[in-house]
Amino acid sequence: MEYRKFKPDYLFDGSQILNGGHVLISDLKGKIIDVVTESEAGNGTEVLKGILSPGFINAHCHLELSHLKNKIPQKTGLVDFVVTVISGRHFPPDEILSAIENTEAEMLKEGIVAVGDICNNTLSLLQKEKKGKKKPAHSSPKKEQHMF
Ligand SMILES: [Zn+2]
């Protein structure tokens, strides 16, 4: 079996942050095999700047309302909020679909790898059908935040 070895400045293993003396070992598909000390890892370690972390989960999202980002006044109360959301549902579908795509890209960029999308219509289904066609967040060499 072939492996990849990652040595970040810090490694979050899901329960604690380990210092830079640790190496995460994965198979070539990204399945985590082990976390070992640097001295146990041997050669071929890829050094990463920043924190290596499991991907984040957005457990409650309304992708269909992405087009309303920054369009709802804050601190106006629940009634005004709901009225604004309901009245804002009637945008051109292309604008809504574009906002959904942009929101998903923004979440991936920030390390969110799974979303609980609360749907009241089918507008976000097209984006969901694209699943598996995107590169994982950790593949970007410029990022200093790495997800597994
Ligand atoms: Zn909600």
- pLDDT by position in tens, the chain (length 148): 799 999 999 999 989 999 989 999 999 999 999 999 999 999 999 999 999 999 999 999 999 999 999 999 999 999 999 999 888 878 899 999 999 999 999 999 999 999 999 988 888 888 888 865 554 444 333 334 444 5
User: Is this prediction's pTM over 0.75?
Assistant: no
Task: Give residue 138's pLDDT.
Answer: 44
**How far does residue 117's CA lie from ligand 1's centre (Å)?**
9
Domains located in the chain, CATH noted: 3-54 (2.30.40.10), 56-134 (no CATH)
| CA-based radius of gyration for the chain | 20
**How far does residue 16's CA lie from ligand 1's centre (Å)?**
30
**How far does residue 12's CA lie from ligand 1's centre (Å)?**
29
Q: Are strands 22-27 and 32-37 parallel, antiparallel or unpaired?
A: antiparallel
Cα–Cα–Cα angle for 84, 107, 131, rounded to 5 degrees: 105
Cα–Cα–Cα angle for 85, 87, 89, rounded to 5 degrees: 70
**How far does residue 129's CA lie from ligand 1's centre (Å)?**
22
